[in-house]
Amino acid sequence: MINKKENKNELREILRNELPVLRAKAKVSQDDVAKMLGISRQTYNSYETGKRIIPIVTLLALIAFFQNNENTKSMLFSIEGLEEKLQYMINIQTEER
């Protein structure tokens, strides 16, 4: 069975691989997404290119953003493994409370 840390890392990697496509489909620039997250464009770029690890709070904000965008909401959960990994993370957090 996969542990919590592995699940988070896999979730990060799944989303990171899809960020450029999601962003393009949402018709937003790296700068637009960075402003929405309250970070610099350079920091966002480093998440998208894998140079930095996406913090879980930022990852959840990105998922919420793309889930609420008309152009990306249907695409988001069709990404293989994303929904499963996210649900696992939510269940673990709930069990720990």
Rounded-to-integer distance, Cα 73 and Cα 6, Å:
26
- pLDDT by residue (tens digit) across 16-33? 999 999 999 999 999 999
pLDDT, position 1? 59
Q: What percent of the chain has pLDDT over 70?
A: 98
pLDDT, position 90? 87
- Least confidently predicted of 22-26, 46-50, 63-67, 75-79: 75-79
Q: Are 1 and 83 in contact (CB under 8 A)?
A: no
**Which domains does the chain possess?**
4-95 (1.10.260)
Q: Are 67 and 54 in contact (CB under 8 A)?
A: no
Q: Are 87 and 7 in contact (CB under 8 A)?
A: no
Which residue has better confidence, 3 or 96? 3
Q: pTM value? A: 0.89
Rounded-to-integer distance, Cα 62 and Cα 93, Å:
19
